Amino acid sequence: MIRSLRTAATGMYAQEMVVDVISNNLANLNTTGFKKSKVEFQDLLYQTIQNPGASTNGSAAPTSEIQIGHGTKPVSVLKIFSQGDVSPTDNPLDLAIDGEGFFKVQMPDGRITYTRDGTFKISADGRLVTSDGYVLDPEISLPENTTGVNISSEGVISAQVVGETEPEVLGQIELAKFVNPAGLKNIGRNLFEETGASGAPQYGTPDSDGFGRVLQGYIETSNVDVVQEMVNMIVAQRAYEINSKAIKTSEEMLTMANNLKR
Amino acid sequence: MIRGLYISAAGMLPQDMEQEVAANNLANINTTGYKKDAVHFKRLLDERLSLDSLHGGESDVSNSEETLINFSQGELQPTDVKTDLAIDGDGFFSIETPDGVRFTRDGNFTLNEENQLVTKSGNPVLGESGPIQLFDGDFEVKQNGDIFQNGNLVDRLSIVTFPRPLPLKKAGEGLFELTVPSIHPQESEHFTVQQGFLEGSNVNAISEMVKMITIDKSFQAGQKAIQAQNETLGKLINQTARY
């Protein structure tokens, strides 16, 4: 009886976590390159009550036994890397990836992190950087007097410079992709880090085997689907409610047991 | 009279257990691959109620029920994640754990650092010849459990089944273990593996709710019966003495 109170409480806790994750998804509805998450659960350990007189000899036929579970636990929060919609921005330094690749970004300490957020800026020293000032890897520097930047779907960057008739090729964007992107670690600021679960990155050029095209002048919106999240929220809320009913039933039964003798 | 008290109490104790099982089913209403439990009652036999067994109330009662796992299919939910697999039909994934091979319907897998297909707890999923070793790059799981990379057959998922009734009990974390270690799993034939799907829990909220209401009311009935007998007993003891 007391056990069922605790069991139902794990159910309520689990649904709370679902709502937390849904809230984060909805909060990032308009975050560029955001990838939604979902919580996954497993059941907890079971207590096996052997019936008295049941055979403990392994070769005998299965005897009746009672297995009582202790509820549920969250095992992971999984990121889902489905493609978000691309929307035009008219900013030549906004890039979206249509495919599985990630932009490589160099952190101040030299580590490489990965992002789907291609809203790049030009730093004071002319390099292509993210909104937080982290440098795009491999590094691209724009010459002074640049009047226009063109980025092809294969990721070749060329600049139109004052006094030159031909555009000057500055470099090539390199993308990374992962066997299991769901294993990447979220480190905030739209950045991901590789982990053992994600596998090592494979590098390649855009518009080749699965890395995806680079679209200049577009951003990738978040892949959060409001209707889906709302449905999930209703499911979580109802599951929360029904677990509270289980607590209430257990509590009523305890009260009845207490009232056996008045 | 006293016997009646014991009988009513014996009727109340299993309700308690039923409520615990219902609470666990409800707690796992959104758990991937979860299979619900049901408490199965055997009637208390009349000979158990012979006078000499009355003082051992509890063991008499616990012999009268068992939990049975309901292995009905849960619904398949699309996730678009390559490492998520669901079995539609009969069969279980085989998982290598430190305690031996375990079986599961929860295909919520991932890859480890050595590129092996593993469960979320890090235990390898078994193929035809041990853990499934993948290479870098994309992989595709066919409906018969064959795993392809770059057009080459890498391995085949070990999807197993057992003679009915399934000799399995729950081991937690979505795993099932054999109740009888000597039974050998056999290859399942009636299934398809769906990549990018997970099998939801087969708990039905409505039926569990109805069950809880029933439990609650039977418990109440038992309580009322005990109270009534207690009053009768009280009358007998206190009023007979007056004459």
The pLDDT tens digits of the residues spanning A79-135 come to: 888 899 999 998 999 999 999 999 999 999 999 999 999 999 999 999 999 999 999
Query: Please, are residues A137 and A199 in contact by the beta-carbon 8 Å criterion?
Result: no
Report the chain A residue with the minimal C-alpha distance to residue B29: A239
Min Cα separation A104/chain B (Å): 19
Min Cα separation A124/chain B (Å): 39
The pLDDT tens digits of the residues spanning B1-48 come to: 677 888 788 778 888 888 999 999 999 999 999 999 998 876 555 445
What pLDDT is recorded for position B5? Answer: 83
Task: Indicate whether B89 pLDDT > 90.
Answer: yes
Task: Indicate whether A61 pLDDT > 70.
Answer: no
Partner-chain contact B108 A75, CB within 8 Å? yes
φ, ψ at A218 (rounded to 5°): -130, 155
DSSP assignment of B170-193 equals EEETTEEEESSTTPPPEE--SEEE
What pLDDT is recorded for position B80? Answer: 79
Contacts of A107 (CB under 8 A, 6+ apart): A113, A134
What is the percent of chain B where pLDDT is above 70?
89
Task: Indicate whether B143 pLDDT > 50.
Answer: yes
- Quickly count: other Cβ atoms within 10 Å of residue A27's Cβ: 11
Min Cα separation B220/chain A (Å): 7
What pLDDT is recorded for position A96? Answer: 95
Partner-chain contact A179 B136, CB within 8 Å? yes
Q: The pTM is what?
A: 0.79
Find residues 154-213 of chain A whose CB sits inside 8 Å of chain B. 179-180, 182-183, 196-200, 202, 210
Beta-bridge partner residues of A186:
A192
Query: Please, are residues B219 and B15 in contact by the beta-carbon 8 Å criterion?
Result: yes
Q: Which chain A positions have a beta carbon within 8 Å of B26's beta carbon?
A: 8, 11, 239, 242-243, 245-246
Task: Indicate whether A47 pLDDT > 80.
Answer: yes
The pLDDT tens digits of the residues spanning A222-239 come to: 999 999 999 999 989 999
The pLDDT tens digits of the residues spanning A146-199 come to: 888 999 999 999 999 888 888 999 999 999 998 888 889 989 899 999 988 788
Partner-chain contact A71 B108, CB within 8 Å? no
Confidence of residue A50 (pLDDT cuts 50, 70, 90): low
Confidence of residue B74 (pLDDT cuts 50, 70, 90): very high
Task: Indicate whether B58 pLDDT > 60.
Answer: no
Test mutation, B30, B79, B112, chain A, max A CBs within 10 A: B30
Residue A13 touches partner B, C-beta closer than 8 Å = no
Q: Which chain B positions have a beta carbon within 8 Å of A182's beta carbon?
A: 81, 83, 110
Report the chain B residue with the minimal C-alpha distance to residue A80: B81
Task: Indicate whether B59 pLDDT > 50.
Answer: no
The pLDDT tens digits of the residues spanning A128-151 come to: 999 999 999 889 999 888 888 999
Contacts of A136 (CB under 8 A, 6+ apart): A103, A104, A105, A106, A120, A127, A128, A129, A130, A173
The pLDDT tens digits of the residues spanning B188-203 come to: 999 999 999 999 999 9
Find residues 184-203 of chain B whose CB sits inside 8 Å of chain A. none
Minimum-distance CB partner of B216 among A40, A44, A252: A252
Q: Which chain B positions have a beta carbon within 8 Å of A250's beta carbon?
A: 19, 23
Q: Which chain B positions have a beta carbon within 8 Å of A56's beta carbon?
A: none
What is the percent of chain B where pLDDT is above 90?
49
Confidence of residue B86 (pLDDT cuts 50, 70, 90): very high
The pLDDT tens digits of the residues spanning B100-142 come to: 999 999 999 988 888 899 998 889 999 998 999 998 778 899 9
φ, ψ at B141 (rounded to 5°): -105, 120
What pLDDT is recorded for position B136? Answer: 76
Residue A78 touches partner B, C-beta closer than 8 Å = yes
Confidence of residue A257 (pLDDT cuts 50, 70, 90): confident
